[in-house]
Structure 1
Amino acid sequence: MALAALGVAVVPGPAHAATVDTNAWYVLVNRHSGKALDVYNLSTSDGGQIVQWPRNDGNWQQWQFVDSGSGYYRLKSRHSGKVLDIFEWSTAGGAEVVQWTDFNATNQQFRLADSDGGHVRLINRHSGMALESWEWSTADGARISQWNDLNGANQQWQLVRVTGGGSGGGDGSGPWPTETGSERVSSTRNLGSFFDGGMKRYYGIGDGGQSEDQDPMFVVPNGGTIQNVILGSPAGDGIHCEGSCTIRNVWWNDVGEDAATFRSSSASATYLVDGGGARSASDKVFQHNGAGTVTIRNFQVHGSGKLYRACGNCSTSYQRHVVMDGVTARTTGVLAGINTNWGDTARFSRITVYGSTTICEKYRGVPKGGEPTKIGSGADGTHCLYSSSDITQR
């Protein structure tokens, strides 16, 4: 009080630089909210928003400290390869924090200042402000911003080192995620427009085998999203998408009849499977009975017959399309089976396969009650679309 009256500034002592391993990946957990620093909606674009979200250890929540020298680091996203950035070089409190291509610019550089309890603050080199959960929010999706360094709990971050590929996967090297709890589902659950399972394991429908006409665990309506779910055995016929849908960071411990079935009759329907993985599907993982386009990206499949099959003998014959990007397959027979006589296509990029895997099988589809005929396999420039550079064989 006396010092303040005399107009003497009280300057905090120098912060100690926390030690980080620049070869490691970290999840950053906010001390106030308990939520993790997250690339919103799994963006890979410049300007993708940075928010907080319940921790799931996905690649979009993993960050590497890239040394910029003089005690500063860039924080690189494992999912996008981009770095944290104070948007448009702002020095204002409340400025937006995004991801951007790494230019090693000062608005992309942060130093680590120690707080108590093993937490750190992240101080931007350009603005001198600390990264924080904006307005002390504890909500999912709350934005991350910058503010004067007040050492508040909403400005403090725990660095949790993670190993392997994490649950964001796509490279097939990470462990399966650890469940946060379990819940038995006794009958099909019709979801609303958005469902976050919090990485709990759901189980309890069907016989755990490949028998046909089992009930699904979850039904997702047109435009709906299901995310952060682990499906244990028995899981019946998995997830049914009645229209365009998003299946994000969902893991099937043991696929029963199918992992997911896509059912819209609209040619403009789009189904996105983003992150996650499936194993132990003696037949197929994803069944495409309706029309439209299925995109499967950053996904792992282990020990399965086919990752994707466009129905070859459903009651209605549609043109169907599949796009696979960032998929890793281990002990899996076929990535995609399509019907060329109906104009189906399959596109592949950034595919890694371990062992003997057929990338694309071609069939002649037939009316319901018949049996489709296999007519070939391999890239052809018309239906099975990929080149040797798109496939890595391990």
Structure 2
Amino acid sequence: MRENFLQKERIAMVTYMIDNVASGKVLDVPNHSAENGIRIDQWSDNGGANQQWELADAGNGLVHILNLENKKALRVRGAQVANGAAVEQWDANGDPSQLWKVSDGGRGMVKIFSALGGNKVLDIPGGGSTNGLGAQIWDDVNVASEHWALIMTNVKLVNAGSGKVMDLPGFNTADGTVIAQWEDNGGANQRWRFYPVDAGVYTIQNMASGKFLDLGPGATDGPAIVQQPMRTSAMSQRWVLKDGGGGTKCIVNMAAAAPIHSNHASKDNGSLLCLYSSGGAADPTTTWNLL
């Protein structure tokens, strides 16, 4: 039985890039079009709103997949169930051709099943990597072209205790820069991407520097949170999202088994972030709203 991704992983307030495992390209609305019937393709990640998607709950474990830029819904053209049927955008209207079930595909990846039935999933033809290759549905045969990474993007992390957001001070690109908190100013240095690497496990990238959250030297209350280049096998760069209550999350480091919090529970701008030395217990200083 396929496990419903929505029951355990989806975070309602964030948007996603939908990245094909075979091609490494993301779902894209060609040329930022708002026209009904435009076929959805894949393209290299460029950070555009035409490559960002909302998963809107449609009930019964189903979702609408809505483009962030134009609010059009992903649908199967003509409500077909044949292999190779094109996937396009259309005004959201609740038709079954616009409904999808996002299911666990293993190792943090997902499969996206059409609600039309026939065991059809969202697919890139042949797993090709060409920009502009159109999306389709195909029988679920468990190949890489049918697996997707849902990458949370433009995420604002708001500490439940301080009300401040996770911030890369001064847009600093230097390795080892210590991460702090600051009032929200909308800057890219305060926005983050979450790349799934396993079920519930992510690497977290700053959208200004392109560097990833990691552990640094000890601070007053525990190891400092710093940015470093991607290190593929480093457990110190892997983070688990655990329920913090009230819709919040604890961001727990896999290497240290402890969550991020504001040093000394400070509410001041510029207060440095570190690991909570008391371990994994949730309190407002260790919980975050993902927005």
Q: If the length of structure 1 is used for normalisation, what is the TM-score?
A: 0.39
Q: 1:173 to 1:81 in 2, by over 3 A?
A: farther
Alignment of 1:319-330 (within 5 A): none
CA contact (8 A) 2:14 2:155 kept: no
Q: 1:159 aligns with which of 142, 150, 156?
A: 150
Q: Map Cα deviations across residues 8-34 of structure 1 (whole Å, 9 max, x no partner).
A: xxxxxx011112122210001100001
Alignment of 1:1-394 (within 5 A): 14-18=1-5, 19-127=9-117, 128-163=119-154, 173=186, 175=188, 178=208
4+ aligned runs moved over 3 Å, structure 1? 176-180
How far apart, in 1, do the equivalents of 2:209 and 2:76 lie? 34
Secondary structure, in 3 states, of the residue corresponding to 1:154?
A: helix
How far apart, in 1, do the equivalents of 2:104 and 2:149 lie? 10
**2:269 corresponding residue in structure 1:** none
**In the TM superposition, what is the alpha-carbon distance from 1:149 to its structure 2 partner?**
0.8
Secondary structure, in 3 states, of the residue corresponding to 1:88?
A: helix
Q: Map Cα deviations across residues 335-373 of structure 1 (whole Å, 9 max, x no partner).
A: xxxxxxxxxxxxxxxxxxxxxxxxxxxxxxxxxxxxxxx
Counterpart residue identity of residue 47, structure 1: G
Secondary structure, in 3 states, of the residue corresponding to 1:151?
A: coil
Counterpart residue identity of residue 135, structure 1: G
Q: Map Cα deviations across residues 302-329 of structure 1 (whole Å, 9 max, x no partner).
A: xxxxxxxxxxxxxxxxxxxxxxxxxxxx
**In the TM superposition, what is the alpha-carbon distance from 1:53 to its structure 2 partner?**
0.6
How far apart, in 2, do the equivalents of 1:103 and 1:132 lie? 23
How far apart, in 1, do the equivalents of 2:125 and 2:65 lie? 19
Aligned-residue sequence identity (percent) comes to 27
How far apart, in 2, do the equivalents of 1:107 and 1:174 lie? 37
Structure 1, unmatched stretches of 5+, are: 1-13, 166-171, 181-394
Structure 2, unmatched stretches of 5+, are: 157-184, 190-206, 211-291
Q: 1:154 to 1:21 in 2, by over 3 A?
A: same
How far apart, in 1, do the equivalents of 2:106 and 2:79 lie? 30
CA contact (8 A) 1:21 1:65 kept: no
**2:279 corresponding residue in structure 1:** none
CA contact (8 A) 1:164 1:173 kept: no
Q: 1:45 to 1:164 in 2, by over 3 A?
A: farther
Q: 1:71 to 1:178 in 2, by over 3 A?
A: same
**1:277 corresponding residue in structure 2:** none
Q: If the length of structure 2 is used for normalisation, what is the TM-score?
A: 0.52
Q: Map Cα deviations across residues 195-241 of structure 1 (whole Å, 9 max, x no partner).
A: xxxxxxxxxxxxxxxxxxxxxxxxxxxxxxxxxxxxxxxxxxxxxxx
Bigger fraction of residues in helix: 2
Secondary structure, in 3 states, of the residue corresponding to 2:107?
A: helix
* Structure whose alpha-carbon radius of gyration is higher: 1
Bigger fraction of residues in strand: 1
Secondary structure, in 3 states, of the residue corresponding to 1:94?
A: coil
Relative contact order, higher structure (CA 8 A, sep 6+): 2
Q: 1:108 to 1:58 in 2, by over 3 A?
A: same
Counterpart residue identity of residue 45, structure 2: R
**In the TM superposition, what is the alpha-carbon distance from 1:76 to its structure 2 partner?**
0.4
Size of the alignment, in residue pairs?
162
Q: Map Cα deviations across residues 216-273 of structure 1 (whole Å, 9 max, x no partner).
A: xxxxxxxxxxxxxxxxxxxxxxxxxxxxxxxxxxxxxxxxxxxxxxxxxxxxxxxxxx
CA contact (8 A) 2:111 2:146 kept: yes
Secondary structure, in 3 states, of the residue corresponding to 1:75?
A: strand
CA contact (8 A) 1:83 1:99 kept: yes
Q: 1:133 to 1:15 in 2, by over 3 A?
A: same
**In the TM superposition, what is the alpha-carbon distance from 1:45 to its structure 2 partner?**
1.0
